[in-house]
């Protein structure tokens, strides 16, 4: 089915489930879902699992394993596998690239400078993402507008110029954190145990800490830095929104 900016304008007002159905109808197996195992992504995974038909046209699911995730995240990955029984491709850093980075700068290089932190994120996240998205025409993510100031303008669908113009779909763009938790409770969706201990946003273990009530949800990410809290997977300077969506 042909997809253009006119056809995607119908996503205005769609629910998250309807948005996922639209993606499956228009892209099928040419769409992929990048699952980080955060609460938002567990909501989307639950929706995708319920809609899966097993006919080869289902949306592909992958996750980026940086090698530095929390034990609780790996526990959730195993629980997810046992509950949903859907294939989740695990994509890790290029071994040679990672070995060169750590050999030169040490395993905890990210604490030394912003440039070092970005270099680590590039090797462990950004470059693996590009490999994972190769051949796909659309990718689904769990971004929400109220996650941070940098994400306050997130649209339901954009052209992501940082990934060659692929369609980037955010079914939960207009959801609140309360909406996420309500879905989790109503549908008995497993989520990371760290969410209950002050971790609204969970990344790599050395780079994430709990936040206090009222603090920015992403203030626990790279807490020793100031400014935007992004790793490079979702650069705010890239992507062109489709008007009105």
User: Which residues carry out catalysis?
Assistant: 231
3-state secondary structure of 112: coil
Q: Which residues pair with 27 in a beta bridge?
A: none
CA 149 → CA 102, 153, 198, 221, distances in Å? 32, 8, 19, 14
d(CA 105, CA 111): 11
β-pair type (89-91, 31-34): unpaired
d(CA 54, CA 49): 10
DSSP 8-state class, residue 59: P
d(CA 146, CA 177): 8
Answer for the pair 185, 191: CB distance below 8 angstroms, yes or no.
no
d(CA 21, CA 114): 40
């Amino acid at each position: 089915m042909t997809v253009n900016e006119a056809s995607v304008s119908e996503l205005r007002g769609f629910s998250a489930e309807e948005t996922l159905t639209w993606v499956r109808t228009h892209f099928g197996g040419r769409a992929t879902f990048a699952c980080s195992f955060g609460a938002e992504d567990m909501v989307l995974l639950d929706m995708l699992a319920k809609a899966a038909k097993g006919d080869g046209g289902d949306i592909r699911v992958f996750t980026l394993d940086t090698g530095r995730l929390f034990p609780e995240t790996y526990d959730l990955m195993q629980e997810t596998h046992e509950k949903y029984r859907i294939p989740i491709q695990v994509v890790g850093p290029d071994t040679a690239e990672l070995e060169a980075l750590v050999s030169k700068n040490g395993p905890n290089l990210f604490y030394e400078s912003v440039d070092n932190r970005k270099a680590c994120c590039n090797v462990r996240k950004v470059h693996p993402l590009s490999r994972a998205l190769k051949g796909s025409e659309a990718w689904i993510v769990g971004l929400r507008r109220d996650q941070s100031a940098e994400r306050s303008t997130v649209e339901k669908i954009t052209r992501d110029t940082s990934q060659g113009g692929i369609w980037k779909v955010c079914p939960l763009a207009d959801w609140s954190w309360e909406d996420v938790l309500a879905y989790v409770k109503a549908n008995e969706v497993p989520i990371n145990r760290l969410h209950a201990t002050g971790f609204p946003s969970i990344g790599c273990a050395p780079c994430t800490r709990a936040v206090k009530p009222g603090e920015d949800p992403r203030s626990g990410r790279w807490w020793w830095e100031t400014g935007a809290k992004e790793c490079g997977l979702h650069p705010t300077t890239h992507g062109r929104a489709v008007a009105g969506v």
